[in-house]
Amino acid sequence: MFKQMYFIAPNAIKQFQEEVANINSGQVIKIIQETLQNLNKPCQWGQREGRLMPFYQCDYRGVIFYVPIIKGYGKWPTVPTIYGPEKFRKEINFHEKTHNSQIRSENN
């Protein structure tokens, strides 16, 4: 059993299998749970549904992937998806552009 449990959304499992390693769902859940037990500071922040969302950089057998964590519907935080490096860059660029355009519109 893990000290901190996370709900791993089906989309996160699918994305892990596509972006990181094509292994069975049970293994994916175990790897993500293990990886998230000793988190350092987030490598980046994004926004989802008006709330800040931390992104954590993780590694599985030399493959870097990024895990966003959001407030869950129950008592467990949720991992909604997994990003490989290329998708992560696109996601962060999207958040930065959206944030910058919000700041410009607020200043006008």
Question: Does the reported pTM lie above 0.85?
Answer: no
Q: Specify the pLDDT at position 94.
A: 53
Length of the chain: 108
Q: Specify the pLDDT at position 78.
A: 96
Q: Specify the pLDDT at position 23.
A: 98
Q: Specify the pLDDT at position 103.
A: 39
Of all helices (H) and strands (E), which one includes residue 98?
A: helix 85-107
Profile the chain (108 residues) by mean pLDDT over runs of 10 residues.
93 97 98 94 87 93 95 91 83 54 45
Integer angstrom CA distances of residue 82 from 62, 79, 104, 108:
16, 8, 30, 36
Supply φ then ψ for residue 31, to 5 degrees. Answer: -65, -45
Helix, strand, coil in percent for the chain, rounding step 5: 45, 25, 30
